[in-house]
Structure 1
């Protein structure tokens, strides 16, 4: 279905080509000499259609970004560098560029030539392009895509019976707890599937139907429990919060704090303070 995206370009090309080539040779020469092939209304139509097309793609990008985020949670135990907040800002920035460009175009159609708007548009496009290139080089995995999620129909057909779900769940839990796979910060759904000898799509199904969790939350639950054990350790060996988060499989303090508060209702510092006072 990717060929559909070329349809707007083809329509624009046909419109501009037919508009010009259907004219007589004399009119063509006159228009070219006057540097005005299209009327203001036609130029306005072309520009507005491009504007709404770009806005539409931007909105679609935000929608697919939301889906991509959920897929990351389904397949990776630790997001870390895979956070995509920056991409939201880039998309919103692109929308602003489009709006500024439209405003500049409307003013130029009315006879105003405000250089600052064109300058802002050019600079914004330059910054936008460089941000994409920068993150493309820094985080190439973001642009490598994710294995396609099974369709709902296929998922329903492959639904496991309750007994099989429970059997797989026990196997997954046993594998996680006996080998402490959650301590690996790079643990993925495929890694767990290989260790447990269970297809990855079945693991996702088991976690979703039995625990109402995705892979990301499932693994982080173990990590938080492990961190609580270390933080309440009375053996005399005291570790900093930073040391603890690395020990249990996190690689970012902000991610650890967010996950810790999600599972315990308090920050690691508050948890330590509570343990000392009790």
Structure 2
């Protein structure tokens, strides 16, 4: 057995990927399907690095060399399915989705048959992987736009970490292309900068993927339909009598009930409380108040926060306590909304009114 310094990072990647995959395969939480897909991603990575290290252990399996350029045909679909499983609460596996993995399966069979595929599959693999990541990022952007129309909280449920991961993964791919076809990017003694980036990324995505709060449930198809329906409506300049009455009823209910202090409030819950269909409610808020749902709810929260900052319950009451009491669950979101609304930070506002 021969082991080089440059093999240390691939060995760590192999070990971690395999351990992460086993942990995720054994998960039984409500995110079981999402974690299963992430586990499959890690398992493919473990197989890839096992193939890279196999010759060091005297394993002369030629098909691993032929497989080196096709793993991306599995990474792309798995990342795409993983992102969709986090976005949509009703996301379920359908056998027709396996068609996305057919190129990987077909090329793997060819590689095991000792047929060289890298000569023509390598460039296509990069394009395929970048394409899947681009579609996944587009889906995440659409998801956040919908989220602002139907949910009243931000933060971790926006899945920005997943979008950032995919962007950095794309940059890693571009560096890999440079390393393969233009200029070698080894740091020293065969230590690959690409492997170091992958080591960072898989630890990051594993940590972030498991850190998602239990309250996150994704968006529903009904949430998507609310927005799609809204987009085809023509918004009048002024509300008619019926719409004016509904807007007044909504405002009176919001002020009297303080339903907005619920950090998990969504448009369906509010619609039920005021007896206005969710699509209609979204139309009223966007069309006549010129706000999305989260902006509308947060205005009430900010007004209550201002009152509490002026008149605290006791001398020791902190800004964080007020933030949670009025319905915010993210300090960064609270500070951002507060400053946009008042032109001051919460601390500055409290000091100016003390």
TM-score (normalised: structure 1):
0.74
The answer as to 2:287 corresponding to 1:212 is no
Stretches of structure 1 that go unaligned for 5 or more consecutive residues are 21-30
Out of 123, 133, 154, the position equivalent to 2:199 is 123
- Give 2:126's aligned residue: 51
Q: Is the 8 A contact 2:172 2:194 kept in 1?
A: no
The answer (yes or no) to whether the contact 1:78–1:186 under 8 Å persists in 2 is yes
Going from structure 1 to structure 2, the CA distance change for 1:178 and 1:217 (only over 3 Å counts) comes to: same
Indicate conservation of the 8 Å contact 2:319/2:346, yes or no: yes
Aligned residues of 2:339 and 2:345 also touching (Cα < 8 A): yes
Q: Deviations over 1:208-247 (max 9, x none)?
A: 0111111111111011111111222289756321222122
**1:165–1:274 CA distance, 2 compared to 1 (3 A):** same
Cα offset for 1:107? 7.0
Task: Return the match for 2:154 from 70, 79, 83.
Answer: 79
Matches within 5 A, 1:96-175: 96-106=171-181, 116=192, 119-120=195-196, 123=199, 126-127=202-203, 130-131=206-207, 133-135=209-211, 138-139=212-213, 142=216, 144-146=218-220, 147-150=223-226, 152=228, 156=232, 162-175=240-253
Decide which structure has the larger Cα Rg and report it.
1
Residues 141 and 250 of structure 1: is their aligned pair in 2 closer, same or farther, counting only changes over 3 Å?
closer
Q: Could you tell me whether the CA contact under 8 Å between 1:227 and 1:248 is conserved in 2? A: yes
- Report the alpha carbon displacement of residue 126 of structure 1 after superposing the two structures with TM: 3.9
Q: Give distance in 2, aligned partners of 1:159 and 1:3.
A: 42
Structure 1 pair 215–93 and aligned structure 2 pair: CA distance change class (3 A): same
1:129–1:99: structure 2 CA closer, same or farther, 3 Å change rule?
Answer: same
**Pick aligned residue for 1:88 from 163, 170, 173:** 163
Indicate yes or no: 2:262 matched with 1:184: yes
Q: Indicate yes or no: 2:143 matched with 1:68.
A: yes
Cα pair 2:162 2:205 within 8 Å, conserved: no
C-alpha distance in structure 1 between counterparts of 2:349 and 2:230, whole Å: 44
Give me the TM-score of the superposition, normalised by structure 2: 0.60
Deviation string 1:3-58 (CA, Å, 9 cap, x unpaired) is 997666546766898xx7xxxxxxxxxx96xx5x23xxx62431111111111222
SS at match of 1:148: helix
Give the total of aligned pairs: 252
Residue 266 in structure 1 maps to residue 344 in structure 2: yes
Gapped runs of 5+ residues in structure 2? Answer: 1-93
Structure 1 equivalent of residue 324 of structure 2: 246
Q: Report 1 or 2 for greater relative contact order, CA contacts < 8 Å, sequence distance ≥ 6.
A: 1
**Preserved contact between residue 154 and residue 330 of structure 2 (Cα < 8 Å):** no
Q: Which shows bigger deviation, 164-173 or 234-243?
A: 234-243
State the 1:108 CA deviation: 11
CA change 1:141–1:65 in 2 (3 A) is: farther
Q: Is the 8 A contact 2:254 2:260 kept in 1?
A: yes
